[in-house]
Amino acid sequence: MTRRERLRRAYCHEEMDRPAVYSRTGFPPGDPTYDRLKALLWERSEVKLGWNGRQFEEPYETRHYVEPYSEDFERHVTVLITPAGELRSTKLVSLHGLPGMDETFFINSREDAEKYLSLPLPSLRVGDFSSFAAAEAKVGEAGIVDVSLGLNPAGAVASLCGSTNFALLTVTDRDIIHALCEREMNVILNSLKLLLAHGIGPFFSMAGEEYVVPPLHGPRDFYDFNVRYDKPIVDLIHDAGGRIHVHCHGRIRAVLKGFVELGVDVLHPLEGPPLGDITPREAKAIVGDRICLEGNIQIHNMYDHTPEEIRAETEALIADVFVDRRGLIVSPTASPYIRGRGEDCYPQYEAMIETVVNWSPAR
């Protein structure tokens, strides 16, 4: 079975010869210590080559400027021009190559939300779709091309508001959050229809559902803002014969059935305590053969555990989830992320991959 066929079967909930094995690839930029790991993943794991499905949306008018902030950071300001007035967001950017952080957000109140809603939906420019065919040719039988739809509607709105503002507005101005989510749903649907009309697919992905899961939000919010506005997108993908992958950290036990109901085909990363609240075995008992589970080796284990420990964790994961020989992509919970430590985690990734590749039903 080729790596491409194995992933196809995983996404389609079909029986496989062995689990797939995969890692996200958001490596620290310009870090040669990860070169050997990149080669290992390309040569031996199932590959997902990313392709931006939102690249044909015309950007809104903005202006940018920089302000001094401290010895370690500068403030980057973005002003968004809307028909109803300007909106402003700020981000603190490190002067020493360290992670930055969002400081303020475009939407802080109902008035800000109404300004944002005054924007027309983005125009879609006539694009060159040949890069998708090039990506398909590049990945070949090593894997699939993953067409990213970016943040889901609720995740996009939460990123415009910030988590705190979003949570407060779901209490004080719930109707305006619904209006914003419906708007973002229509933005994604417009792009998706363009992609499908040009034969792009069949493997799609979204993220952002994690903004609306416990403990900050309960099941009611998950169904109101994730299931309600994701499902039309997922239905359109399924109607076209496509499949959808969702990335969602957090405590999802109380809302896992919601992912089933909205039609998610692959769900990553399914975390147990303390970062999450459900084990892969428990998740498999709930989703059965309706969702492929992608996970769950904690990313810090790839740096802190020995190869022997990773091998044991991988074997246990397979034993817990691959009971029906379908529905498992073994994967760390996130991309390799620690600058300068690519060689330190290489033996652990090698142990994970070898354990999966050498698995047999007799074991």
Q: Residue ranges per domain, the chain? A: 3-59+128-357, 60-121
Query: Residue 143 and residue 127: Cα distance in Å, rounded?
Result: 25
User: Which residue type sits at 23?
Assistant: S
Mean pLDDT by 10 residues, the chain (363 residues): 97 98 95 98 98 97 97 97 98 89 97 98 91 98 98 98 96 98 98 97 98 94 98 98 96 96 96 89 95 95 98 97 96 95 98 97 73
DSSP-assigned letter for residue 86? E
- 115 and 84 Cβ atoms separated by less than 8 Å: yes
The topology (CATH level 3) of 3-59+128-357 is TIM Barrel (3.20.20)
Determine the pLDDT at residue 273. Answer: 85
DSSP-assigned letter for residue 218? -
Residue identified by tokens 């919601």 is: 258
Q: Which residues pair with 86 in a beta bridge?
A: 81
Query: Residue 259 and residue 265: Cα distance in Å, rounded?
Result: 9
- 326 and 15 Cβ atoms separated by less than 8 Å: yes
Give all strands (DSSP E) within 121-251, no chain letters.
Answer: 143-151, 203-207, 243-248
Give all strands (DSSP E) within 182-286, no chain letters.
Answer: 203-207, 243-248, 266-269
Determine the pLDDT at residue 363. Answer: 59
Kindly write down the DSSP assignment for every residue of 24-75, as one continuous string: ---PPTT-GGGHHHHHHHHHHSPEEEEEETTTTBPPPPEEEEEEE--SSEEE
Q: Identify the three-state secondary structure at position 81.
A: strand
φ/ψ of residue 322, rounded to 5 = -90, 35
Report the predicted TM-score, pTM, of the whole model to 2 decimal places: 0.95
The CA-based angle 45-98-23, given to 5 degrees, is: 10
Query: Residue 131 and residue 150: Cα distance in Å, rounded?
Result: 18
First and final CA of the chain: distance in angstroms?
19
Determine the pLDDT at residue 314. Answer: 98
- 326 and 8 Cβ atoms separated by less than 8 Å: no
Determine the pLDDT at residue 21. Answer: 98
- 245 and 207 Cβ atoms separated by less than 8 Å: no
Residues found in the chain: 363
CA 70 to chain centre: 33
